Amino acid sequence: MPEVSIVLVEPLYEGNVGFTARVMKNFGFTRLVLVNPCKLGDDAIMRASHARDVLDNARRMTTVAEVYREFDFVVATTGEVSKSVCTPMRMPYYSPAEVREIVADIDGTVAILFGRENWGLANEELKRANLICTIPTSDVYPILNLSHAVGILCYELANLPRGEYPIAGPVQMDALYEHIDAFLDRIDHPDFKRENTMILIRRLIGRTKLTIREASTLHGLMRRTEWQMENREQTSYKGEI
Amino acid sequence: MPEVSIVLVEPLYEGNVGFTARVMKNFGFTRLVLVNPCKLGDDAIMRASHARDVLDNARRMTTVAEVYREFDFVVATTGEVSKSVCTPMRMPYYSPAEVREIVADIDGTVAILFGRENWGLANEELKRANLICTIPTSDVYPILNLSHAVGILCYELANLPRGEYPIAGPVQMDALYEHIDAFLDRIDHPDFKRENTMILIRRLIGRTKLTIREASTLHGLMRRTEWQMENREQTSYKGEI
């Protein structure tokens, strides 16, 4: 994965800068670049919360030209609104998920540019971008808060491994379906319904991505039921003898 | 597209409620439910910005139980932190992208639950959820701001295709879980295991988006098993008399 920096161009509100630092750190990003930002005070620090280090270590630049000089690959973000004023300047544009696919293969440094809260990025600032990214939004109210836009890009780019829990494999699933089929025999489930019922059960359990623990609980419940039936039968036979 | 509502459970900071309204509207969602929220004043209105209508039209509820009574399918969100204290209560969990896949097929009302800023959702509030969702975050600083978490879910859930088959609603699901609980009694399932087993079953069946037909097949299989047990018992009694 390439080294990704988040670049805020002339942010106007320090609270947004703080929230940006926080949401970056939430997704494992620590490189923040501030181009000619507003003054940062208590509000930025408060909203950065435990990402104070990201805020403190933010690099300062004075123009967007510096960003283009330094980074190997620059993605510029634009809102749905500015996209609609579209010249080739802001076209074609990619969704965050598409940007992720493209950026994943890059061997170099990547900067994601976010414009000012009120009017975004100027054409001059967009011109040299390798890629234009637009987060798909509602026509009714397309203007995202700056830190929410950063959060969505970071979420997509994070590619963080998801926690693992063991899913039941084919051997375990086959054993479970065999047990269920045997159980249906045990309760005299009619043959003419059997195939459809087994298909319904396979569809139903199949889409759960059953965990190993859950599979074993299902076996356990069937065994307990079988034992109850068995036990009662034996009592019954004893009574008859 | 199913009707998706965002539910904030006892939010503590009005600013987060305002930002939530805004980011919802950015992605085309307008149904906000507030369960016993903090007082909403100027800060909420300011951060809602042009989503003042979403804020003003927010429904109020007093307990999470009302949410479960009303919605067909409930997704509960938990942080990476609470996930690590893992009992069946918070397992297995799905990423927002996976939740989107599952929710896409639902023909019914969907609620996405978000807990308090400081300690999330209580086990009591999670217990009946159909699905647990965790946004994958960095171990270094996993705690997302509430409105950023909402934003990421809304981003993923936007533009869902329409549902196609009728899923079992809360009344049908309650009847099914009652039947299962009674069935566990019937097979002398031990009391000390009962709560965990019922939670595991709710998690498992909950995430299947059970159709009405499937629910009725499950009832049928349990009734057949019960009948078999009953019948064998009667035989047994006859034998003893």
Chain B residues in contact with A141 by the CB 8 A cut-off are 22, 25-26, 50-51
Identify whether residues A115 and A177 lie together within a single domain. Answer: no
Identify whether residues A190 and A137 lie together within a single domain. Answer: no
Residue A59 belongs to a domain: yes
Q: What is the DSSP-derived secondary structure letter of residue B90? A: G
* Chain A interface mutation, best of B16, B137, B197, B218, highest count of A Cβ atoms under 10 Å: B137
Q: How far is A87 from chain B (nearest CA, A)?
A: 24
Are A113 and A9 spatial neighbours (Cβ–Cβ below 8 Å)? Answer: yes
Burial A57-70 (b: 16+ CB within 10 A, else e): ebeebeebeebbee
pLDDT digits (tens, 9 = 90+) for A53-70: 999 999 999 999 999 989
What is the rounded distance in angstroms from the CA atom of residue B204 to the CA atom of residue B202?
A: 5
Q: Which of A95, A124, A158 is the last residue of a domain?
A: A158
Residue A120 belongs to a domain: yes
> Token pair for residue A54?
């990201």
As a three-state string, the secondary structure of B72-84 is CEEEEECCHHHHH
Q: Read off the pLDDT of each residue in B125-138 and give the average, rounded to a whole number.
A: 90
Identify whether residues A90 and A39 lie together within a single domain. Answer: yes
Identify whether residues B118 and B135 lie together within a single domain. Answer: yes
State the pLDDT at residue A127: 80
**Which of the four pLDDT bands, split at 50, 70 and 90, describes residue A208?**
confident
Identify whether residues A44 and A140 lie together within a single domain. Answer: yes
Asked if B83's CB is within 8 angstroms of A27's CB, the reply is no
Q: Which of B166, B183, B217 is the last residue of a domain?
A: B166
* Chain B interface mutation, best of A17, A236, A240, highest count of B Cβ atoms under 10 Å: A236
**CATH code where residue A228 lies:** 1.10.8
Q: How far is B56 from chain A (nearest CA, A)?
A: 16
Residue A164 belongs to a domain: no
Beta-carbon neighbour count of residue B143 at 10 Å?
A: 18
Q: How far is B35 from chain A (nearest CA, A)?
A: 23
The alpha-helical segments, DSSP class H, found in chain A are: 14-26, 42-48, 52-56, 64-70, 80-84, 96-104, 123-126, 146-158, 170-186, 191-206, 212-240
For residue B168, pLDDT beyond 60: yes
Nearest CA in chain A to B136: A162
For residue B210, pLDDT beyond 70: yes
Residue of B47, B144, B158 with shortest CB distance to A23: B144
- For A10, half-sphere exposure in the C-beta direction (CA atoms, 13 angstrom radius) is 12
Q: Give every CB contact of residue A117 below 8 A, 6+ residues apart in sequence.
A: A11, A12, A13, A16, A145, A146
Identify whether residues B234 and B118 lie together within a single domain. Answer: no
Nearest CA in chain A to B97: A156
In angstroms, how far is CA B108 from the centroid of its own chain?
Answer: 13
**Which uninterrupted H or E stretch holds B17?**
helix B14-26
pLDDT digits (tens, 9 = 90+) for A125-178: 988 888 889 998 988 899 999 999 999 999 999 965 544 567 787 788 889 999
For residue B25, pLDDT beyond 70: yes
Q: Average pLDDT over chain B, rounded to whole?
A: 89
Chain B residues in contact with A233 by the CB 8 A cut-off are 232, 236
For residue A84, pLDDT beyond 80: no
Residue of A140, A184, A232 with shortest CB distance to B233: A232
State the pLDDT at residue A162: 47
Identify whether residues B83 and B162 lie together within a single domain. Answer: yes
Q: Read off the pLDDT of each residue in A169-196 and give the average, rounded to a whole number.
A: 91
Identify whether residues B94 and B12 lie together within a single domain. Answer: yes
State the pLDDT at residue B54: 97
**Which of the four pLDDT bands, split at 50, 70 and 90, describes residue B82?**
low
Place of tokens 């929230």: A19
Chain A residues in contact with B144 by the CB 8 A cut-off are 23, 26, 151
The alpha-helical segments, DSSP class H, found in B36-169 are: 42-48, 52-56, 64-70, 80-84, 96-104, 123-126, 146-157
Q: Which of A123, A158, A193 is the last residue of a domain?
A: A158
**Which of the four pLDDT bands, split at 50, 70 and 90, describes residue B51?**
very high
**Which of the four pLDDT bands, split at 50, 70 and 90, describes residue B177?**
very high
Pairs of residues, one from chain A and one from chain B, whose beta carbons lie less than 8 Å apart: 163
Tell me how many domains chain B contains. Answer: 2
**Which uninterrupted H or E stretch holds A207?**
none
Nearest CA in chain B to A29: B138
Asked if B187's CB is within 8 angstroms of A228's CB, the reply is yes
Chain A residues in contact with B83 by the CB 8 A cut-off are 163
SS3 B7: strand
**CATH code where residue A67 lies:** 3.40.1280.10
Residue B230 belongs to what domain range? 170-240
